[in-house]
Chain A
Amino acid sequence: MAPPRSPRSRLFHAIVVAGAAVGSACGGATTTGGSDGLDASRGGASGDAASRADADAEANDDAAPDVALDRGAAAEAAPVAPDAGWDGNPCELPGSNAAPCNVDGSPIPHCCVGNGCFPCFV
């Protein structure tokens, strides 16, 4: 497969990069792990119990910190690297600035407004 093309939009950062960061910070206790999610032979009550036990075990092993939702605190763990092609221009919203984010320290300009902290996009 050809290597992924490099998207250059601020929206890509705000949506995919930041979204993946939230997901990467999660503990991994979901039923689609292993064969639980897609193997019908493990469906039904016994399958549910098995996947619940797997999930519990996984959760107990997972010492991930309690990352504040939507603050991008786990950006370093994101599987998607910030795109160097992004122009980095700050937006017009109050609270936006070209300095590192004052919430999560991310080096790219952020809007720290309302209930979200995300790369500038407007």
Chain B
Amino acid sequence: MTPPEPELSDAERLLVAATCERRAELELRGAAAFTVVTQALVDLRADARIVDLSARAIAEEIRHSNIYFELASTFARRALRRPAFAPIDVPAHDDVDPTLRRVLHVVGMCSINETMACAFLELCLAGAKATPVRAALREVLSDEIRHARVGWAYLASPGVAQDARHEVGRRLVPMLCAQLEGWWRQVETLPAGAVPAYGCPAGAAIAEATLRSLDELVLPGFEALGIDAAEARRYSAGHAPCPACGKRLRRPA
């Protein structure tokens, strides 16, 4: 790994290290989530090409964790403890049958979460100037694009019936609400400060990119595939609450 480029204060260097260390852990959670998605796709008898994309995503997320860990160690200038796998909370969707639950897991993780993650990485890359950081972000983003495709590929595959698409549309707002809360939890607990030139944008910028990704990527994606996102549009505009929790869309504190 190329040594960090020079124009960083110690405080900024440590912030970059802490951010990368945190992302290394989050990428392992992504790997764990893709084990769930891959099993769901197998159980749904999805096309092998889609299952293959998802299965490869498990290893790719682990590689991302290593990439971020190496960056964290470089910027920290000391040995760090590698992040470890831990069980993840999988959305229960306990009011639906197992088949629809699997569909919702694929959609929630790939069509929504990974698509939003691409917008986040695009933001990071747009501000990044440091060579090793740009290289890392490009590698991660190119993989995350494929990971997001898994959800859209599944939804576009001929075997997904109209009633499944309808159910996805009906449950979009609660899924979006839960995803955004997850993103806001991360934003609200970021280390103080920002170093955009090293891939660490400010929380406000991340929140803005996340919300734009909802309006410009996620919802148009569902609409393009014939899934009714009208209620989700109202939720995104702050005009309708989430039917599950009763709360309107909020921005992070």
Contact = CB atoms under 8 A, between A and B. Distances in A.
Contacts of B118: 11, 14-15
A38 B146 contact: no
Contacts of A63: none
Nearest to A43: B97
A4 B159 contact: no
Interface stretch (B190-198, B200-208, B216-224): B216-224
Interface in A66-86: 67, 69-70, 78-80
B237 interface: no
A35 B148 CA distance: 27
A31 B220 contact: no
A106 interface: no
A36 B74 CA distance: 52
Contacts, number: 177
Nearest to A78: B156
Interface in B139-189: 141-142, 145-146, 148-161, 163-164, 167
B225 interface: yes
Interface residues of B, number: 51
A29 B48 CA distance: 10
A67 B49 CA distance: 9
B53 interface: yes
A22 interface: yes
B119 A11 contact: yes
A26 B161 contact: no
Contacts of B152: 15-16, 19-20, 23
A2 B234 CA distance: 12
> For A7, A16, A22, A24, which residue has the most chain B Cβ atoms within 10 angstroms?
A16
Interface SS, A side: loop
Interface SS, B side: helix
A38 B164 contact: yes
A31 B159 contact: yes
B228 interface: yes
Contacts of B72: none
Contact of A26 (B153, B164, B167, B221): B153
Given A22-B53, A38-B97, A122-B141, A4 B160 contact: no
A115 B111 CA distance: 21
Contacts of B125: 122
A49 interface: no
A11 B161 CA distance: 27
A37 B46 CA distance: 12
A65 interface: no
Interface string B18-48: 0000000000000000000000000111110
A55 B45 contact: yes
Contacts of A19: 148-153, 156
A2 B229 CA distance: 10
Interface of B: 43-47, 49-50, 52-53, 97-100, 103, 115, 118-119, 122, 125, 138, 141-142, 145-146, 148-161, 163-164, 167, 216-217, 220-221, 223-226, 228, 230
8 closest A-B pairs (Cβ-Cβ)? A30-B159, A23-B156, A28-B158, A19-B152, A19-B149, A26-B47, A4-B223, A23-B153
